[in-house]
Chain A
Amino acid sequence: MHEMAVTESLLAIATRHGEAAGASRVTDLYLVIGRLSSIVDDSVQFYWDFVSKGTVCEGARLHFERVPATFRCLECQSHYELDGDFTPCPECGSSRIEVVAGEEFRLESVGIES
């Protein structure tokens, strides 16, 4: 897994935005993670506590908003949501599908004290 690299990147972004906004402390990180993005919450949290130590983000709480995977069938055009697994279209059984949502991995906002 690569949550360490990901968490360092997260820290850099949160620190940059926090400092630009004049934060004395970043208290909260609001993350949006798609079901398909293969990011494990617990693992990010584990590394977060470790990498954020001694920074303006130390002790910040991570909030994960999971976005379900949404697919569109390329045959019958129907949309369907799944909990992360790829399955053929439940309407017509076609395997020709496209991902509409579920790959997000975004820092949406940060809570700060100034």
Chain B
Amino acid sequence: MTASSRRVEVREDVLGANDLLASENRARLELAGVFSVNLMASPGAGKTSLVERTVQALAGQMRVAFVDGDLATSLDADRAAAAGAAAIQINTGGECHLDANMLQGALDQLDLGRTDLLIVENVGNLICPASFRLGTHKNVLIASIPEGDDKPYKYPGTYRGVDALVLNKIDLLPYVPFRMEYFRQGVEMLNPGVVTFVLSCRSGEGLSDWLQWLVGSVEAHRDTRKVE
């Protein structure tokens, strides 16, 4: 018998399996009434500092769970746990991003029924995390002054896909060259009108707007659920 050749139509997104799992994660969070954010940033931008500040500020107001993705160690989860969050560490073992499957495993370990806000801290990287949906409600990018004002231009994929932008370490503005207008213009081109929080985790300046947005989102989410 001779082999016959033919072409078979597929038309499938290569990351479709991840997207499907992400939808499952979202459904699970919805069912439990949990509002969730996915924090993305380059290493050292202040992801965990923002988590610490946030968890401390919201203590007593709401129950916060934290999932951290890192190549190795549980340093970040330890910091968040010390601040008062229920913390789960995912060691990606070299993977440059979290994916929906990893988050699913972490959700299994959390008591979602006793959670109001879930903060996921992605692997410190400005490229890969943007391609993998997790199923969280909002993607948040943390940029920081010392990284430089050209980052929106160099990492358009990440800047474009986020729902909120935090610009951290503004206490360093007097010491580092950073053209705010140039930065903002790049952001505006990629993500017109994106909600932006300019703050310093260190001094606390500007943190209240961020917290207000977060609390508002959690409450709005809860209210929507009551209506349903």
Kindly provide the distance from the CB of B124 to the nearest chain A CB, expressed in whole angstroms: 14
Shortest A114–chain B CB gap in Å is 6
- The answer to whether the Cβ of A109 comes within 8 Å of any Cβ in the partner chain is yes
- What's the minimum C-beta distance from A97 to chain B, rounded to whole angstroms? 6
B228 within 8 A of A: no
Q: Number of B residues contacting the other chain (C-beta, 8 Å)?
A: 33
B219 to chain A, nearest CB (A): 31
Q: How far is the CB of A89 from chain B (nearest CB, A)?
A: 10
In the complex, chain B residues 12-45 whose Cβ is within 8 Å of any chain A Cβ: 12-18
Residues on A with C-beta less than 8 A from B9 are 108-109
Check if B11 is an interface residue, CB within 8 A of chain A: yes
Bound CA–CA A95/B5 (angstroms): 49
Query: In the complex, are the beta carbons of B188 and A95 less than 8 A apart?
Result: yes
By beta carbon, the residue of chain A nearest B125 is A2
Q: Given the complex, which residues of B lie within 8 Å of A85, measured CB to CB?
A: 156
Do A111 and B157 have beta carbons less than 8 Å apart?
no
Which of the four size classes fits the interface of chain A? 35 or more
B43: shortest Cβ distance to chain A, in Å? 16
Interface string of A89-114 (1 = CB under 8 A from B): 00000011101000001111111111
Q: A1-B96, A114-B4 are in contact. Are A109 and B14 (CB under 8 A)?
A: no
- Measured CA separation A25–B188 after assembly (Å): 49
Within the assembled complex, what's the spacing in Å between the Cα atoms of A38 and B97? 14
Residue B73 CB within 8 A of the other chain: no
User: Is B190 close to A, CB under 8 A?
Assistant: yes
**Measured CA separation A86–B155 after assembly (Å):** 10
A14 to B: closest C-beta gap in Å: 7
Judge whether A21 is part of the interface by a CB distance below 8 angstroms.
yes
Known: A9-B17, A13-B16, A114-B3. A109 touches B8 (CB 8 A): yes
In the complex, how many angstroms separate the beta carbon of B128 from the nearest chain A beta carbon?
A: 4
Contacts of B5 in A (CB 8 A): 27, 111-113
Contact across chains for A110 and B15 when beta carbons are under 8 A apart: no
Chain A residues contacting B176 (CB-CB under 8 Å) are none
Is residue B133 contacting chain A, with contact meaning CB distance below 8 A? no
Question: Which residue of chain A lies nearest to B17 when distances are taken between CB atoms in the complex?
Answer: A9
Interface readout for A3-42 with B: 1 if CB under 8 Å, 0 if not? 0011001101110011001011101101100001110000
Partner of A107, one of B3, B10, B99, B153: B10
Q: Which of A17, A88, A107 contacts B14 (CB 8 A)?
A: A107
* Distance to closest chain B CB from A91 (angstroms): 15
In-complex Cβ contact of A108 among B10, B132, B160, B192 (8 A): B10
Contacts of B97 in A (CB 8 A): 2, 5
Q: Is A74 an interface residue (CB 8 A)?
A: yes
Judge whether B6 is part of the interface by a CB distance below 8 angstroms.
Answer: yes
On chain A, the residues within 8 Å of B13 by CB distance are 105-106
Query: Known contacts being A9-B14, A108-B11, is A96 close to B188, with CB within 8 Å?
Result: yes
CB closest chain-A residue, reference B190: A86
Give me the 3 closest cross-chain CB pairs, A-B, nearest first.
A95-B189, A113-B3, A2-B128
Footprint of A on B, CB under 8 Å?
Answer: 3-18, 95-97, 99, 127-128, 131-132, 153, 156-157, 160, 185, 188-190, 192
